[in-house]
Amino acid sequence: MSSVSGFRVEPVVAGRLHDLRRRVLRNGDANQSVDHPLDQNEATVHFAGLLGDRIVVSSSFYLVSSPVNPEVTAYQLRYMATDYDVQSRGYGALVLEHAEEFLRLHGAMQLWANARDTALNFYKARGWLVVPGSEHVSNETQLAHTVIYKNLVRMS
């Protein structure tokens, strides 16, 4: 667990993130599922960013082969969300930093994601790279996405 001026990052079970996932990533639509088949997998890691007891950031990391380097140990980032009223305060970046370090220390070599195009600048500012030609529309949200990745260790 890490903490900065009242904000802290800690591992949580997936169910604690469902409300934020639904409100931010599915426009509050109660009919939209925010469960993932790998949520309960023992290799999956979920992090919450909290202000007091309130979850304001969610992120989930699934041990899934990377489309960039399938031969390395990689985790897919999904359900990265920051609550509307605290966006642009750096909380999402703190959760991502914490998760990157945790996963690197636990053997991950690369992270990757299908990032919403509206969030690409956030990821690029944190060292993530875009996979050229990977632009697509998400089947789940019907929004434009691009595959991104970040190496956690030096790749030769």
Q: Are strands 45-51 and 7-11 parallel, antiparallel or unpaired?
A: antiparallel
Q: Which CATH number does the domain housing residue 87 bear?
A: 3.40.630.30
Residues 56, 82 contacting (CB under 8 angstroms): yes
Helices (H), the chain: 18-20, 91-105, 120-124
pLDDT tens series, the chain, 156 aa: 444 678 999 999 999 999 999 898 887 777 777 888 999 999 999 999 999 999 999 999 999 999 999 999 999 999 999 999 999 999 999 999 999 999 999 999 999 999 989 889 999 999 999 999 887 777 776 777 899 999 999 876
Closest by CA position to 66, among listed 152, 143, 156, 142:
152
Q: Does pTM top 0.85 for this prediction?
A: yes
Structural domain for 62, as ranges = 2-151
Query: Which pLDDT score, from 0 to 100, does residue 137 have?
Result: 78
Residue 156 lies in a domain: no
In a domain, 64, yes or no: yes
Task: State the pLDDT at residue 85.
Answer: 94
- 86 falls within a domain: yes
> What does the alpha-carbon distance between residue 150 and residue 148 come to, in Å, rounded to a whole number?
7
**Class of residue 48 by CB neighbours under 10 A (exposed 0-12, middle 13-18, buried 19+):** buried
